[in-house]
Chain A
Amino acid sequence: MASAIEVSNVSKEFVLRHTRSIKEAVVWLVKGRKGDLSKKFHALKDVSLMVETGETVALLGLNGSGKSTLLKHISGVMLPDSGSVYTRGRVAGLIEVGAGFHPDLSGRDNVYLNGAILGMTEKQINERFDAIVEFSEIGEFIDTEVKFYSSGMYLRLAFSVAVHTDPEVFLIDEILAVGDEPFQRKCIAKIQELAEKGKTLVVVSHDLDLVSRICARGVLLEHGNVMFDGPISEAVTRLRN
């Protein structure tokens, strides 16, 4: 089996207090660089994670432990300070519901825009358009502006576009929380179907029962360190204690 994701010794530091004006920066320089212009914060510390193709991995941890930051490194949104990240095949992230949606455009326009943002070609979107609309159960609302959608409908369409991008590696961050019960079940079924087809999944969720059903492997993060990496049941037990 080939690896799908290789994260080696990745560290990431964030600057906490930002200066957004040249004035502050100049004053600081003139004063002989006294004091801290910015505080540093380590979000990831020497994190390594190897994921084989077809594995289903859950990233677990308390708020602020670095799960989203790690996903952003895998998707390429952020670059590591040190260490390296490699991925194989196309990576698509459902980092946040409908990040690429524009409220003033219709559902149809948004499907095309978001599909293209997630890396689909015009032909692929044309082919899959009906399937996307059908899965989302949006029906006649597809030509309505998205700002008139309920938040659940918004999520449905966004999720539907994302699952139809057909990537090799799928990153999911906290998106299953919205949506009603039947649609949630449908999403989970779809995700499980993707897993069975041999897609690689990396899932972040605070719903521990849910991730235990979807994922086989659990990675526990704490303050940017990997504390545990192994079977999901053990990772969940550790987090619960």
Chain B
Amino acid sequence: MTTTISGELTRPGLGGGFRDLRQSSFLLKLLVRKELKVRYRGSVLGLLWSYVKPGVQFVVFYVALGVFMGLERSARNPDGLSNYAVYLFSGIVLINFFSEALGNSARSIVNNGNLIKKIYLPRELFPVASVWVSAVHFFPQLVVLVIGCLFAGWHPDMFQLLAAVGGFAIVGFLATGLGLLFGAANVYFRDSENLVDMLLMVATWASPVMYSWTMVQAKLGPVFFAIYQANPITVGVELFHYAFWYPTTDGSAAMPPNLFSLWLPIGLVISLVVLVLGQLTFRRLEGRFAQEL
């Protein structure tokens, strides 16, 4: 929404999709800041809470799952995963990011209905701002994860760090694409919200967060395992394992075959396709947002 040269007639209300986002980066920043301010308003610890919560979560995992349930590798449990708490947490932070990003962006259009009904602005801003807010919340969890990793003797190389960035990007694109899709659909059918909740529940278990990928390969045939692997979230989680957990182990654990040569590109392409489809659907549906809300 920049000042057009007077002398030029334009059609109001026809958005330029992601092109508008670059012009409205200031508004995007304010929307993200608004969300964060509103969320931590009136709490003494403020943003510190987002460090405390994952920190406690990590310790609980370590004690309950690693020590009590004995999922940690030990003399009595040679099949267990070493540093199980790190393994678990590195997957969970990514799933948390995905859940929050998709859950909030799917609701963002309906939640901002009052504004969308009255003032024209690029509506993509709302789902995209939700994803950004989730990225901000992801950061403290990452800090806790890194601290946990360092205690476990983490010594990553450059390539492993890049793998983390790649995993984050794949999941971020997927969340944005699905967020646009479900955010727009939610205006017409409020069932979409429930669909998203269900999807998120499945997503946690459809990736090797709690268990290891070898268990899946043993149970599924090669065809179903390939389908399992093509899930961008699975790829993201495995990349996170490779970046955070693998460098804390003795290196004897196996990474999924062809993770970098095959599954990384496939995950990335699927995420980007979802992003493009989400954006196209969004643009198709947004013309009627104001009257349907």
Contacts and interface: CB of A to CB of B under 8 A. Distances in A.
A92 B105 CA distance: 27
Interface string A5-23: 0100000001100101111
Interface string B1-33: 101101111111110000000001011001100
Contacts of B118: 72, 77, 93, 95-96, 99
Interface in B138-160: none
Interface in A81-129: 84-91, 93, 95-96, 99-100, 102, 104-105, 109, 112-113, 116-119, 121-122
Interface stretch (B66-74, B235-243, B285-293): B285-293
Contacts of A93: 118-120
A6 B287 contact: no
B53 interface: no
A89 B4 contact: yes
Interface in A22-45: 22-23, 25
B115 interface: yes
B12 A76 contact: yes
Contacts of B4: 88-90
B185 to A, nearest CB: 10
How many A residues are at the interface, by size bracket? 35 or more
A154 B118 CA distance: 17
Interface in B107-137: 114-121
A79 B34 contact: no
Interface of A: 2-3, 6, 14-15, 18, 20-23, 25, 53, 72-79, 84-91, 93, 95-96, 99-100, 102, 104-105, 109, 112-113, 116-119, 121-122, 168
Interface of B: 1, 3-4, 6-14, 24, 26-27, 30-31, 34, 37-38, 41, 114-121, 188-191, 287-288, 290-292
